Amino acid sequence: MGSSSCAWERGGVGGSCSSGSSSASWSGGGLDKGEVERYARQLVLPSFGVARQRKLKEASVLVVGAGGLGSPVCLYLAAAGVGRIGVTDQDDVEKSNLHRQILHDEAEVGSHKAVSASKAMRRLNSGTEVEVHLDGFRAVNALGLVEGYDVVVDASDNPATRYCVNDACVIAGKPLVSGAAIGTDGQLSVYNHGDQCPCYRCVWPDPPQEGACQRCSDSGVLGVLPGIIGTLQALETIKVLTGAGECCSQKLLMFDGLATSFRSLKLRPRQEKCLVCGSSPAITRETIGSYDYEANCGGAMHDKGESACLRVLPESRRVSCEFLRSRIDGSAATDREFVVLDVRPKSEYDFAHLRGSVSLPMDALEEEVAAGAALAREGKDTYVVCRRGNDSQVAVDKLLRAGATSVFDVEGGLQRWSKAVDPTFPLY
């Protein structure tokens, strides 16, 4: 009698036993020993199993944005066993990112976010192929990026990119898992997935005006919020890829972090007049590359370098940070008394402000403009500062209209102050 071994068919309908020698006594339904051991807790789920795990292994996902939302998306998709993940971003890691962008750590400050993200995913799962796209997501490369993947995750932070990602997904026929988080609130939906499922433009046909939508850098965000929404995006992506459960298409999931409550709103179906998925689309494969998303969809797609400053005042009403420093340290060629007026929100003033400055937030200035103008008329020079040098110009203009005389804007605000005068002043 010859020796025999039992070959169990782990991924088939049933088991079988065959005689004869074999180097391995088992089959994993397309998974090797390491994969079975790694994903065992998913494999034992009756609602998931080996067939869906194999779908993840064979799948590909493009993640647009490696920030607060993209961090849990990238980590959980890599951990879950998605075979190929592409990540695109155009920004560098900053210290202010670290409280929420858990892909990155202190050692990666200053490095490219997409590169940092790829390192984190490879450390977590060497079996996942990671592709890095350093040029960011733009109209000229949108279709080329999207067409290389099965599902696209929008983890961006600005409306121009959101519309561009959506349009490329519609044209390429790719499902889009979209999330957003700001302050203590978040929302999630799956677009372009199914015959009646709307695209992002169907639901939001009118892009916001430039400046109407603020980013986390402007409005702030509780660090855990994008983690919650990004984790849900990862879940929805897995469901779309594998067919498990019911995905969040044709509905908008809204999360209130302070109340710890969820609401689900039914979305209207695909719209005939939609610019990209309607019956007569204006944005097509031929035109998307030349469409100006920054001009038509609410502002810049990428936040590189120092923020652009408004120009609403004549140069005679503006002073440099270096000049303000000379007034503060007494080296300026004038002995007139002066006051520094800080028009940032009180919450920002509280954690960092120039010594001796007076807090008068912009929202309070509307009601107290007369008092502010009176302060600026007390025989003192008044220098107005804000975070980036935009609100301060608006404030100076209001004070001048209210009768103030010797009032000036500090160019570039406290962001410029930190870079040009005092590097110990926190950038945020």
Domains in the chain with CATH codes? 59-290 (3.40.50.720), 315-421 (3.40.250.10)
Q: Rounded to whole angstroms, how far apart are CA atoms 356 and 1?
A: 96
Residue 99 marked in a binding site: yes
Q: Is the pTM of this model over 0.95?
A: no
Neighbours of 324 (CB within 10 A): 21
Residue 89 marked in a binding site: yes
Provide the token pair at 370: 């007369």
Residue 113 marked in a binding site: yes
pLDDT value at residue 104: 98
Provide the token pair at 325: 């420093």
Q: How far does Cα 153 stand from its chain's mean position? A: 11
- Residue 167 three-state SS: helix
pLDDT confidence bin for 301, thresholds 50/70/90: confident
- Residue 123 three-state SS: helix
| Residue 203 dihedral angles phi and psi, to the nearest 5° | -85, -40
Do 101 and 146 contact (CB within 8 A), yes or no?
A: no
Tell me which of 197, 216, 309, 321 is the catalytic residue.
216
Active site residue 6: no
pLDDT, mean of residues 367-395: 82
Mean pLDDT over all residues of the chain?
A: 89
Active site residue 216: yes
Highest mean pLDDT among 2-16, 43-57, 284-298: 43-57
pLDDT value at residue 367: 76
Convert the pLDDT of each residue in 318-370 to its tens digit.
999 999 999 999 877 777 889 999 999 999 999 999 999 999 999 888 777 77
Q: Rounded to whole angstroms, how far apart are CA atoms 375 and 354?
A: 18
Residue 6 marked in a binding site: no
Convert the pLDDT of each residue in 185-242 to its tens digit.
999 999 999 889 999 999 999 988 765 556 666 778 999 999 999 999 999 999 999 9
Convert the pLDDT of each residue in 153-162 to its tens digit.
999 999 999 9
